[in-house]
Structure 1
Amino acid sequence: MHPNQEKWDRIYSNRPDTNPVTAEVLQHNQHLLPETGYVLDLACGLGGNSLLLAEKGLTVSSWDISPVAIRHLQQRAQAKNLSIDAKVRDVIEQPPEANSVDVLVVTHFLQRDMTELLTATLRPGGLLFYQTFCRNKVSQQGPSNPDYLLKDNELLTMFAGLKVRVYREESLLGDHSMGWRNQAMLVAEKV
């Protein structure tokens, strides 16, 4: 068993609440989604994004390294009568093919050396919805390892070849008790 699989299986097995949550980048920007198309929810976890996307009528594939997470997603999808192709897959070892998706969703997953590959995964006109944690955060939410935390404006430089449609990163500015903190979000289009 891969160490990451063991880690994530343990995390998902020990969660008292397995209700999947949809990422804010998708919640707030779902109006940008196409009416039809093929979507990949990469490193999908419990599949909150996948469920919303399937409810919108899109063709959804969901990949995660954790069989526990995929099993939860499959049970949820079945209970809601949604068609989601959920697979246990190590996205680092088995990345998606080039020009294979209309929408790519990546949340709380950061593997910098996959940036070009993720960009290539999108078909022309395809959309990337990306959200993950930042180094400059107001609480301890998310990982502490800087390898898994974005530097200021890093998403903008990582995906500089895409056309930015939405970007939000509040960092440590202003009143820390207000706003959307600790993470950055990006919606970008491959032109």
Structure 2
Amino acid sequence: MPVTDRDRWDARYRGGIPQQRPCATLTAHLHLLPARGRALDLACGLGANARVLAAAGLDTEAWDVSPVAIGRLQALAAAEGLRITATACDLLETPPAPQSFDVIVVAYFFERALLPALAAALRPGGLLFYETFTQRSAHGPSNPDWKLADNELPSALPGLRLRYYRDEQDAGDPALGLRGIAGYIGQRPA
């Protein structure tokens, strides 16, 4: 029987992946979040981004393929007094419904086929925060198909208005900055 993504991630989370940090693209731009609304942390892992969204007062959902990660997130959210609806699901089989979220955050998960569904899932004025590895990164997945090409997100999401993009590639001092990681914020027109 082949090993599935769920099996691999469950094994990693059972092995004790430490508590994760929220992505820099979100934490540096909290001022862009709406005062209220519905938010989704997609491929949430232990829900670091979901916990930031819930603490900001948004009705927050967190989805991940790993039931083990979802169980750990539920325990963390309860300990922090945060209301988060956490769900184990296959994100490719069950993408978010059109116009269902005001904010979507995706960190360190990349699937090109899912990008149109993410843009469509935003309500008018909704924001997509995305942070993941680029193909120049020495970290992250070994499969280059799961890493961003140069300036890929802005061109792959043409229906969204670009609010922020950072991809330093190999400019300047390679020992400084966020190397091999791209950050993006796009907004669905109102």
Displacement of 1:10 after TM fit?
1.2
Displacement of 1:16 after TM fit?
5.1
**TM-superposition CA deviations, 1:84-129 (whole Å, max 9, x none):** 0001111111111001000011111111011111110000100000
Displacement of 1:2 after TM fit?
6.9
What are the equivalent positions in structure 2 for 1:76-155 lying under 5 Å apart?
76-137=76-137, 140-155=138-153
Q: How many residues are paired up?
A: 188
| Structure 1 CA distance for aligned equivalents of residues 145 and 11 of structure 2 | 21
RMSD across aligned C-alpha pairs, in angstroms?
1.2
| Structure 2 CA distance for aligned equivalents of residues 122 and 16 of structure 1 | 30
Change (3 A) 1:98 1:2: farther
| Structure 2 CA distance for aligned equivalents of residues 85 and 40 of structure 1 | 9
| Structure 1 CA distance for aligned equivalents of residues 161 and 53 of structure 2 | 22
| Structure 2 CA distance for aligned equivalents of residues 45 and 156 of structure 1 | 25
- 1:56 aligns with 56
Q: What amino acid is aligned across from residue 108 of structure 1 in structure 2?
A: Y
- TM-score, normalization: structure 2? 0.96
Query: Which runs of structure 1 show a deviation greater than 3 angstroms over 4 or more consecutive aligned residues?
Result: none
Q: Identical aligned pairs, as a percentage?
A: 44
Q: What amino acid is aligned across from residue 80 of structure 1 in structure 2?
A: E
Unaligned runs of 5+ in 1: none
Displacement of 1:20 after TM fit?
2.5
| Structure 2 CA distance for aligned equivalents of residues 125 and 149 of structure 1 | 27
Displacement of 1:134 after TM fit?
0.2
Change (3 A) 1:50 1:2: farther
| Structure 1 CA distance for aligned equivalents of residues 155 and 38 of structure 2 | 26
